[in-house]
Amino acid sequence: MYKVIKDIDQSILSYPLLKRVEEKGYVRVVGEIPLIHSEKGEFDRYEVSIRFPQSYPKCFPKVIETSEKIPRKDFRHVNPDLTLCLAVEPEEKAIANNGINFKYFLDKVLVPHLARETFREINGAYPDGEYTHGNSGIWEFYESALESTDRKLIISELEEIIYSKWQGRNELCKCGSGRKFKRCHLDKWNTIIKSGRDYIIEKLDQLKKEL
């Protein structure tokens, strides 16, 4: 817990409207997050309450947007427990599998998410698309990462990523593109494997049953 508190205290130095509080042995961060454009200044702000699950820093903190500017709706990526859905599951696993710090989470995950919500409120759609909740979103993540909508092929490739010995970087890619592995599927496979082999094996079982 000491490391988590130190991580929090160092991180919120860059966010002076946030503060750490402790209630009944639980640590939370509460306050406001202003959204600031580099040239135009502040364009929105949100009140938040952030808690830290036991598995943090190998998962995202849980965030409730307490100002209630974001509609409490599934299509606005608010979960039934009112926490924000900040990423599709394999994407979160890929980011946090080796541990994250709170400053990274604020800078690279939460603030961009809130900015997307402001954009959505003004324009009626997200600027860069979105993943669906549940297994549909997991399929969409793998379809995007592997650049394929053939779900049988995706299952086969996920199994190859997990169970096969990867070919050499300078060998021609097995997909038949004529390019070297490092210029073709290596980056895609690295994107997938970041979430961890155990996680991918678990998801494979789920996706196979659904398929």
Model pLDDT for residues 10-59, shown as the tens digit of each residue: 999 999 999 999 987 789 999 999 999 988 899 999 999 999 999 999 99
Backbone conformation region of residue 145, classed left if phi is above 0, alpha if psi is from -120 to 50, else beta: alpha
User: Exposed, middle or buried, 77 (CB in 10 Å: 0-12/13-18/19+)?
Assistant: buried
- pTM for this predicted structure: 0.86
Q: Is the pLDDT of residue 84 over 80?
A: yes
Highest-confidence range of 25-29, 129-133, 207-211, by mean pLDDT? Answer: 25-29
What's the pLDDT score for residue 175?
87
What percent of the chain shows pLDDT beyond 90?
84
Residue with tokens 């990523």: 161
Query: Could you tell me the strand order of the sheet in which 62-65 lies?
Result: 18-23, 26-37, 41-51, 62-65
- Work out the average pLDDT over 142-155: 93
Q: How many residues appear in the chain? A: 211
Distance between CA 85 and CA 143 in Å, rounded? 20
b/e sequence 145-169, b meaning 16+ C-beta within 10 Å: bbeeeeeeebeebbeebeeeeeeee
Cis before 57? omega within 30: yes
- Work out the average pLDDT over 92-102: 94
Q: Which two tokens stand for residue 131?
A: 């993943």
- In this prediction, residue 210 has a pLDDT band, given cuts at 50, 70 and 90, of confident
Residue with tokens 């409207």: 17
All domains of the chain in start order, with CATH: 2-123 (3.10.110.10), 134-210 (no CATH)
